[in-house]
Amino acid sequence: MNGNGRSPFATCRRRQRPTRRATPADRDNNAPNNAHRPSVAAMQTDPGTRLAAVVDRPAARARSVAALTTGGCTLPLPGESVEGACCRGAAPRRIYVNDTMAPDGTAPSRVVRLGSQHLTSYQLRVVIAMVASSHQSLDKAEASPKAIRSLSWSELYQAAVHLLGQYVGAVISCRYAIPSHLQGEDADAQLRLTFETALARTVLDHPLLQCGVIDEDSPKPSFIELDAVDFANHVDWVTLNASDDLHGALRSTLEAGVGRNYPDGATRPGWRMVVLRPSGRDGAAVLEAVFFYNHIAVDGMSGKIFHESLLNHLNSHDPPEQLQSFQDRVLRLVDTAARFPPAPETIVTYPVSMCFFAGALWKAFRPNFFAVREGLSAAWAPVRLQPYKTNLRVFTVDSGPLSNILALCRGNKTTLTGLLHGIALLSFAKQLDPATAPGFAAGTAIDMRRATPKAPDGYPWYDPSRTVCNILSTIHHHFDKRLVSDFRRSLEAAPGTDDREGNTLRMDALAPLIWSAAQRTRREIEAALALGNRDNMLGLMKYASDWRAMMRAQEFKPRGASWAVSNIGVIDGDATPEGTDDDDDRRWSIEASTFTMSAEAAGAAVHISAISVRGGELSVELAWQDVVDGAVIKQLGDNLEKWLAYFGSIDLDAC
């Protein structure tokens, strides 16, 4: 109602209507002051027409006007006027009351006023509908995440096994030596700020640590941009008691975290970190940074690249306050897509021969009894998704024995990876009877960065050797019935016993068996590497229309492999950025590292992982699921430790 007690719409209600049924245009044309109002046609058809409606009325009348709203947009009730606006390039976010202040007290944005005009109810309805439509379009655009690219062939596979609960990811932990000026309780706040700022810079270096994943449960998931990374959701600091053992705390942290999936992939990047901070005088000098990651975007080599990048930023000595995008543990992200790593298949081809394709096709779709008859599958380790729990065993080899082992590997024309395969074959052949395991299959993880071009067309900044991404492939090894049978006969014929007194004699006799298997494995790896991108597992992945369906089918088949080996080599623990002072008192370094993977519910029964620090110790990890016979894995771990100690103790000068 206005001041004289009459509604401004009263004249419209008492107006003489035409005898024929009035159209909206008629009602518009019969309204007063028609020349001063935009036509309905203009409001409906010209997206550049600026529209506004100001209705003077008391709050009671506002409620009836609000009933005219459409499209889910409701007029605000408080105040003496209501304004809506639509214009090209400046669509409103809301309809504001009193046209001066937004509901939160700020000045209205993207609202254009044309002055007070009395509109017919139909014109007002059109204005409100257009404002509501514009509002909804903006909200939908803002709510819809900005897609960067679809997942690559190998990323699709990793997304499927993560979704199905068959496999989660991996973890690489590094023990950092803290500079003296950041040690002690009084420097704890500065230590945390320095470390997290370096971590933030590392995340900014690697776009795959900034993105989310949408539509994971679909044939075509995509990476998306996120606005920010809140370290409160990604980084946990754990201060240990003086009586706590760092090694024990690390193992507990690894076991608790490596099997945890990443359910918030659409809103958070797929990684997290736990920082273990020992107490006491000795513990104040180190911290353990445990980096967990989803395998969709990050492979094993990427974990090593991540820690080397983090160490580089720690030693750059850039003041934390210079990173303006990182405030209150929140890292603001801008244009993640600008330097996003391309899908490997978009920059390099993976040709597949007919023979290689046919063999893979037969292996994937043959009836189960053919696999059993072949005798290579791990029927001794049943496939069960639940309970999904990763068990770990970790041991280390000191730098001195490690040097001996590597020298012996070179002398026997193999590598540490081949040696781990040889020891595993010996252990399984000894423990499992021929009826249960007549033969064995195993796998080796292969980093395909060496076959991926640097600075390809369209990506001049891209260097795969320094980029966190997923360019992982696998080589399969088959130890058939005949080979394993010969292995078992040699085991039975070897002199001595497994008792300590006769152990050396027996190990001397069995060592050639291990070296022969190690050499065989190495030759197969070299042959696969020589092919480059040809006849590679990545090339086969393009034929998988839906990895989810394929991996569900794997749950009803025998495991394809008894073990798999992932050796990501040596991490440089003394990296210092170019152009910085090599000041020992202010320099960070990495003293030790641990690398392990989560168990595979439908893949290899046990994972054997290895990593070493340059000039330091070797760390070997075993990971297996609860459903796998723990006694078999315990014996495997014992054999790995025993044989590596044996080879590490050999006097090379006497050889």
Instruction: Note the pLDDT tens digit of each residue in 28-86.
Output: 444 444 444 444 444 444 433 333 333 333 333 333 333 333 333 343 333 333 343 33
- 41 or 603, which is more confident: 603
For residue 184, the model assigns a pLDDT of: 84
Residues β-bridged to residue 222? 150, 214
pLDDT at 90: 37
Q: What is the pLDDT of residue 366?
A: 75
Q: Please name which of 418, 448, 204 lies closest in space to residue 332, comparing C-alpha atoms.
A: 204
**Average pLDDT over every residue of 576-588:** 71
Dihedral class, residue 570 (left if φ above 0, else alpha if ψ from -120 to 50, else beta): beta
Q: Which helix (H) or strand (E) holds 44?
A: helix 40-45
Would you state the structure tokens that stand for residue 83, as one six-digit string? 């304004």
Q: What pLDDT, on a 0 to 100 scale, did the predictor assign at position 578?
A: 62
User: 103: pLDDT confidence band, cut at 50, 70 and 90?
Assistant: very low
Please state the rounded mean pLDDT for residues 169-188: 93
Mean pLDDT of 342-361: 93
Q: DSSP 3-state assignment of 504?
A: helix
Report the candidate in 425, 430, 415 with the shortest Cα–Cα distance to residue 561.
425
Mean pLDDT in residue range 539-559:
90
Q: Quick one: CA dihedral 571, 640, 167, 437, positive or negative? A: positive
Query: Looking at the predicted structure, is the pLDDT value of residue 243 above 70?
Result: yes
Residues 609-626: pLDDT tens digits?
999 999 999 999 999 998
In this predicted structure, the answer to whether residue 451 has a pLDDT above a threshold of 50 is yes
Residue 99 has pLDDT above 50, yes or no: no
pLDDT at 27 > cutoff 50: no
- Average pLDDT of the residues of the chain: 81
Query: What's the whole-number mean pLDDT along residues 139-154?
Result: 79
Give the C-alpha separation, 119 to 73, whole Å: 19
pLDDT of res. 400: 95
pLDDT on residue 40: 42
Please, what is the angle between helix 503-530 and helix 630-649, to 10°? 100
pLDDT beyond 60 at 378: yes
Instruction: Specify the pLDDT at position 465.
Output: 95
- Report the pLDDT value the prediction gives residue 281, as an integer from 0 to 100: 58
Residues 6 or more apart in contact with residue 559 via CB below 8 angstroms? 377, 378, 379, 381, 383, 602, 603, 604, 605
Q: What is the pLDDT of residue 28?
A: 42
Angle at 217 between CA 562 and CA 292, to 5 degrees: 55
CA atoms of 513 and 552, how far apart (whole Å): 38
Give the domains, in start order, of the chain with CATH numbers.
Answer: 10-143 (no CATH), 152-326 (3.30.559.10), 348-571+595-654 (3.30.559.30)
Whether the per-residue pLDDT at 143 is higher than 70: the answer is no
Residue pair 86/51 in contact (Cβ under 8 Å)? The answer is: yes
For the chain, give the percent of residues with pLDDT over 90.
61
pLDDT in tens, 267-300: 999 999 999 999 865 557 999 999 999 999 999 9
pLDDT band for position 244 (cuts 50, 70, 90): confident
Cα separation, 217 vs 159, in Å, equals 8
Confidence of residue 585 (pLDDT cuts 50, 70, 90): confident
Q: How far apart are CA 101 and CA 81, in angstroms?
A: 12
Lowest mean pLDDT among 183-187, 361-365, 562-566: 361-365
Q: Residue 55 half-sphere exposure, CB side, CA atoms within 13 Å?
A: 32
DSSP strands (E only) in 228-307: 228-230, 235-239, 271-277, 286-294
For residue 505, what pLDDT band results from cuts at 50, 70 and 90? confident
Lowest mean pLDDT among 11-15, 49-53, 418-422: 49-53
Share of the chain above pLDDT 70, in %: 74
* Six-digit token string for 611: 């990593």
Average the pLDDT over each of 93-107, 244-258, 319-333, 436-450 and give the range with the smallest value: 93-107
105 pLDDT higher than 50 = no
Rg of the chain in Å (alpha carbons): 33
Confidence of residue 236 (pLDDT cuts 50, 70, 90): very high
How does 59-98 read in b/e, with b if 16+ C-beta sit within 10 Å?
eebbeebeeebeeebebeeebebbbbbbbeeebbbbbbbe
